[in-house]
Structure 1
Amino acid sequence: MTATSAAAPPLSPWVLSAFWCGSAFQWLVLLLILMPANIVQFVGEAQKGTYLGTLTAIGAVMALVLPPLVGARSDRSGRRLPYLRLGVGINLAGLAVMALAVTLLGGLSGFWVYVLGFLLVQFGNNYATAPYSALIPQLVPPAQRGRYSGVMAMLQAGGQLLGAVVALVVTFLALPQAVAFVLVAVALVVPAVVTMRGVHETPPTPQERRDMAAAPTLSLRQLFAHQPFLWVFVTRLLFALGQYSVQPFLQYYAADVLGQRNAGTATSIMLACIIVGSIGSAFLGGRLSDRLGRKPVIYVAGGTMAAAALLLLIAPNFAVALVLALLFGLGFGAFTSVDWALGSDAMPSRSSYARDMGVWHVAFTAPQLSSAPQGALLDWGNARGGNLGYTLVFGIAALFFLLGVILVRRVPEQAHAPATQT
């Protein structure tokens, strides 16, 4: 193994997970603030849900295919950080293309240039995060993974909160959209540098390469036959389906259901409430999962998220919606803090951490493909009046959360330790 091996001195969880902060900042600002507004600019109001869902789904295809492939290559090379460096560079190039399409182009021609930029962002980010995802199971003992996962969840929530604040400032000051893209780039690079400088990695020796090549690696069929991995994958898939049933359309909900004239600002405030709740529960959830087990925390978190999604449908005003957003955040933060620990526990072999984490990550990215039919369903329902589209997509989200809570019971308790240590 390299210097980033299980025998290496423990790293600070804040350094190890710093890049997740920048990545979370980027995805919050892009998916929930910039992209919904940019799509309306390109195609208008009537087809905003369809085009936004299609764009999200196109990006999801990249996120679906790339992580397992890059992860497997990282496992063979024994390296993680070179992939992080190159991936961040490609990500930055994609942000530049998206900014160019918004500021200099328009209409459908501008939209397709925007799509190209978004694909570069997806490629670069997934190229970086697939090997990077292997560092927690590779470096952190099972008994400490809840704490490390909690810190990671806090950093993600902190990045999202910073993103929401920045979006509010950009909107309030009516700054050019190019400024928002520059801020996203800066927020991505700074924590990436913290992680790359803090995690010390050396190339594997020839003997280590031979050992890695000789180590048994499960086929994908064997991987899914491993019960802890299978059920962790399924439950994460369901929670992500719930998230992506609602998340891309939150800005439209603020305008159409809550009647907010400045939907971008209203969305940023709602997101800030969700994130504050997430920060409040993330670290505590991770700590509790190390003591009580992963599943009890997920039961409470998933039930809370489902209840909040349903109650948002009958929120009488924006103030009540903010309280419900805070409630949803409490559940989401607790779930996120345990989610990574549960996934790390379920990895069956040390010889394929990056590939297997890449496969597991598909359970989070593949549900983005549902945004296209959900967007079409939203437009179809709303065309029939009474905000029927929002009732459908929010109700579907609650159903997915509840199914995730029910099926997490199938995750075997012995998932707390890898089955094969090679």
Structure 2
Amino acid sequence: MPSAVLPARSVPSPWVLSAFWFGTAFHWLVLLLILMPANVVQFVGEAQKGTYLGVLTAIGAVMALVLPPLIGARSDRSGKRLPYIRLGLGVNLAGLVVMALAVTALSGMTGFWIYVLGFLLVQFGNNYATAPYAALIPQLVLPEQRGRYSGVMGMLQAVGQLLGAVSAFAVSTLHLPPVVSFLLIGIVLAVPALITIRGVREEALDTQEKAARTSPSWQQLFAYQPFLWVFVTRVLFSLGQYSVQPFLQFYNKDVLGQTNAANSTSIMLLCIIVGGILSVWAGGRISDQVGRKPVIYVAGTVMAAAAVMLLIAPSYAVALALAVLFGLGFGAFSSVDWALGSDAMPSAGSYARDMGIWHVAFVAPQLSSAPQGALLDWGNQQGHNFGYTLVFGIAALFFLAGVVLVRNVPETRQVRAA
């Protein structure tokens, strides 16, 4: 397959290049794992919380599924990245305003559907910005440095999530109104985005000379073995994540018996993130030396084991220890994930489109939240919190399948040339 690695020019530091991921990580942790579960209960009540939260997550996932490849392809044709990031950021912030207004001024199903509208704006804006943004590492960073850049990106994402968990805990403990959380999300999203926008020179991004603008068709893209297997394994790991992640707050209340589920979930997320921080930096650097796959073998096995053991955790304290264990695996996986995906891009002329398609492997599994939410409610109706056994067990199976199949990814440190 025709391909080229274009020379890196004016590459910003990994901290500047990945700053926007820091804000995005804070944004999605607080929104998806803290605010949305609590807001859904406020709108629809306890009996249908799993179903409606799953529906809301799936509705947003449809937007995130369709938009990145389309906007990425448009960005590739124009040779521009930053204008898309700016516009997407503005729409994202507007969506947060709509969601905040729905929570503070409305109730019942009317409020819920206005809330959904705001969430769609958030999804549209965030994906409009991050599709071209995702192309920056493969476009600007040399293959032998991608592990380090991916590790820094993973570190900033983990720290963003850490700050999100701490902020959510503080807001809940101080009994501050929900609008404060939405305001924090907006600020922490916008400031790092501006750091990246100011730190990346637009002229350095217009690197697709006509000779390198060859874009493989979708059929050629998925016929390219590195991309195909990276895509498949990322789908599996994401299915494992989204089998459990949206329902952590419900798990803390129903299974662990925590009276303040929002606070206990924040602490659990904090433990996951601390575990991730401990492994994410080392994982990226190790992968530059020994390859990406060995790191993923270990990471996926650890995540699967932690998911199963959470089902039998005898106490909240033990669950927190298992959360740290899960975080160690997740951090190692995150540190390698982006480098593995960047290595698998077949053509320098379609980085944004192909990274957008690859991003679908992360987003599409969010659609599973709707059937998983319904499965959770059905299982719990059978008694003894059986729904959690189902969704956590399914998560472990997905992680293990990802570990088994990642061996099919051809190990490569660079974009292959014809």
- Partner of 1:261: helix, strand, or coil? coil
1:210 Cα deviation (Å)? 6.8
2:16 is equivalent to residue 15 of structure 1 = yes
Alpha-carbon deviations, 1:268-289, whole Å to 9, x = none? 0000000001011001000000
Matched AA of 1:42: F
1:146 Cα deviation (Å)? 0.5
2:331 is equivalent to residue 330 of structure 1 = no
- Partner of 2:203: helix, strand, or coil? coil
Superposition TM-score, scaled by structure 2 size? 0.97
2:280 is equivalent to residue 282 of structure 1 = yes
Alpha-carbon deviations, 1:99-150, whole Å to 9, x = none? 0100000000000000000000000000000000000000111111001000
1:7 Cα deviation (Å)? 3.4
1:204 Cα deviation (Å)? 8.0
2:227 to 221, 226, 229: 229
CA distance in 2, matches of 1:217, 1:202: 21
1:319 Cα deviation (Å)? 0.2
CA distance in 2, matches of 1:342, 1:303: 18
Match of 1:70?
71
| Equivalences for residues 75-224 of structure 1 within 5 A | 75-202=76-203, 211=210, 215-224=213-222
CA distance in 1, matches of 2:124, 2:96: 12
Alpha-carbon deviations, 1:354-394, whole Å to 9, x = none? 00000000000000000000000000000110110000000
- Partner of 1:202: helix, strand, or coil? helix
- Partner of 1:258: helix, strand, or coil? coil
- Stretches of structure 1 lacking an aligned partner (at least 5 in a row): none
- Determine if contact 1:78/1:204 at 8 Å carries over to the other structure: yes
CA distance in 2, matches of 1:109, 1:157: 35
Match of 1:419?
416
- Partner of 1:297: helix, strand, or coil? helix
- Stretches of structure 2 lacking an aligned partner (at least 5 in a row): 1-5
RMSD after superposition = 1.3
CA distance in 2, matches of 1:234, 1:172: 41
CA distance in 2, matches of 1:260, 1:62: 34
Task: Write out the 4+ residue segments of structure 1 that deviate beyond 3 Å after TM superposition.
Answer: none
1:314 to 312, 315, 338: 312
1:202 Cα deviation (Å)? 2.5
CA distance in 2, matches of 1:209, 1:116: 37
Assess, with a 3 A threshold, how the Cα gap between structure 1 residues 204 and 360 changes in structure 2: closer, same or farther. closer
Matched AA of 1:200: R
- Determine if contact 2:10/2:204 at 8 Å carries over to the other structure: no
CA distance in 2, matches of 1:243, 1:299: 16
2:341 is equivalent to residue 343 of structure 1 = yes
- Determine if contact 1:78/1:203 at 8 Å carries over to the other structure: no
- Partner of 1:29: helix, strand, or coil? helix
Alpha-carbon deviations, 1:47-77, whole Å to 9, x = none? 0000000000000000000000000000001
- Determine if contact 1:28/1:163 at 8 Å carries over to the other structure: yes
- Determine if contact 1:303/1:402 at 8 Å carries over to the other structure: yes
CA distance in 2, matches of 1:53, 1:245: 10
CA distance in 2, matches of 1:373, 1:204: 41
Alpha-carbon deviations, 1:210-230, whole Å to 9, x = none? 716x73210001000000000
Superposition TM-score, scaled by structure 1 size? 0.96
Alpha-carbon deviations, 1:150-197, whole Å to 9, x = none? 000000000000000000010000001001100000000010011001
- Determine if contact 1:22/1:189 at 8 Å carries over to the other structure: yes
Alpha-carbon deviations, 1:26-62, whole Å to 9, x = none? 0000000000000000000000000000000000000
CA distance in 1, matches of 2:205, 2:32: 38
Assess, with a 3 A threshold, how the Cα gap between structure 1 residues 30 and 204 changes in structure 2: closer, same or farther. closer
- Determine if contact 1:277/1:327 at 8 Å carries over to the other structure: yes
1:417 Cα deviation (Å)? 1.4
1:6 Cα deviation (Å)? 3.3
- Partner of 1:89: helix, strand, or coil? helix
Assess, with a 3 A threshold, how the Cα gap between structure 1 residues 12 and 209 changes in structure 2: closer, same or farther. closer
Q: Alignment length, in residue pairs?
A: 413
1:419 Cα deviation (Å)? 2.0
Matched AA of 1:242: G
- Determine if contact 1:79/1:203 at 8 Å carries over to the other structure: no
CA distance in 2, matches of 1:152, 1:210: 28
| Equivalences for residues 51-62 of structure 1 within 5 A | 51-62=52-63
1:209 Cα deviation (Å)? 7.3
- Determine if contact 1:350/1:420 at 8 Å carries over to the other structure: no
CA distance in 1, matches of 2:373, 2:325: 25
Matched AA of 1:222: Q
| Equivalences for residues 233-244 of structure 1 within 5 A | 233-244=231-242
Match of 1:24?
25
Matched AA of 1:245: S
CA distance in 2, matches of 1:273, 1:15: 26
CA distance in 1, matches of 2:8, 2:377: 54
CA distance in 1, matches of 2:40, 2:7: 46
Alpha-carbon deviations, 1:257-309, whole Å to 9, x = none? 00000000000000000000101100100000000000000000000000000
CA distance in 2, matches of 1:70, 1:291: 34
CA distance in 2, matches of 1:420, 1:210: 16
Alpha-carbon deviations, 1:321-353, whole Å to 9, x = none? 000000000000000000000000000000000
Assess, with a 3 A threshold, how the Cα gap between structure 1 residues 36 and 88 changes in structure 2: closer, same or farther. same
Match of 1:255?
253
Assess, with a 3 A threshold, how the Cα gap between structure 1 residues 204 and 323 changes in structure 2: closer, same or farther. closer
